[in-house]
Structures are given as structure tokens and as C-alpha cells.
Amino acid sequence: MAEHIFNNAATPAVSGEADKPVTRLRQAITGPLLFLFILGDVLGAGVYALMGVLAGKVGGALWVPLLVALLLAMLTAGSYAELVTKYPRAGGAAVFAERAF
């Protein structure tokens, strides 16, 4: 029963859009929204939980490690965004690992 609900197989397009596959799933998440979601997922709450400990070690330069973390998170989010556009299938990291190996 659930197989036909989650089936991402392309069906023939109607109304002249033969090059674009039609699925039963509606794309509700845009590219920028997906980028921000992944960025928030990578950063997590752990960065903010240790602010007091971090401030005790670096003093007034607290913004430097946060900037480094932001740059690394943006690289990761950009990589995921690129992979999502290259392999637009449900499954996330599992799809990317499958394609890599």
C-alpha cells in the first residue's frame, strides 16, 4: 500500500512538458530554505551551549571561532546543496553515499 505513495518513479508528463518528470510529491522546500535548514542542522545547539567556556579561553576574540565555524558550516551546506541539485531524490545522505560507492 505505501509503495505507491512514496514512489519517485517518473511518470509521463502532461501538457507538453516531456523533458520534466512528474511525481506525486509536491516540491515545497525551495533551494534557499534547504540551504538554511542544512546550515542550522550543521551548527546545532552545541556551539551556543559552550559559550561561557569558550569566552573564558579566548576572551574578547569570541567572534573568531564563531566566524570559523560559520565558514565551515557554509562549506558543508553548500556541498549538500550541490549534491541535492545533482541527485534530486528523497533519502539525503544515504542517496549521496550510494552514488559515491
Cα–Cα–Cα angle for 79, 38, 56, nearest 5°? 105
∠ CA 28-31-36, nearest 5°, is: 100
Mean pLDDT value across residues 62-83: 87
Mean pLDDT of 74-85: 87
Q: Per the structure block, which three cell numbers stand in for 66?
A: 564563531
Residue 71: the pLDDT is 93
Alpha carbons within 13 A on the beta-carbon side of 63 = 1
Residue 2 predicted with pLDDT over 50: no
What sign for the dihedral angle of Cα 36, 39, 45, 51? Answer: negative
One-letter amino acid identity for 33?
A: L
pLDDT band at residue 5 under the 50/70/90 scheme:
very low
Q: How many CB atoms lie within 10 A of CB 77?
A: 20
pLDDT tens readout for residues 16-68: 555 666 667 677 778 888 888 888 877 776 667 778 887 888 778 888 878 89
Q: Supply the pLDDT for residue 72.
A: 92
Higher per-residue pLDDT: 79 or 100: 79
Query: Distance of CA 50 to CAs 27, 53, 68, Å?
Result: 37, 5, 16
First to last CA, the chain: 31
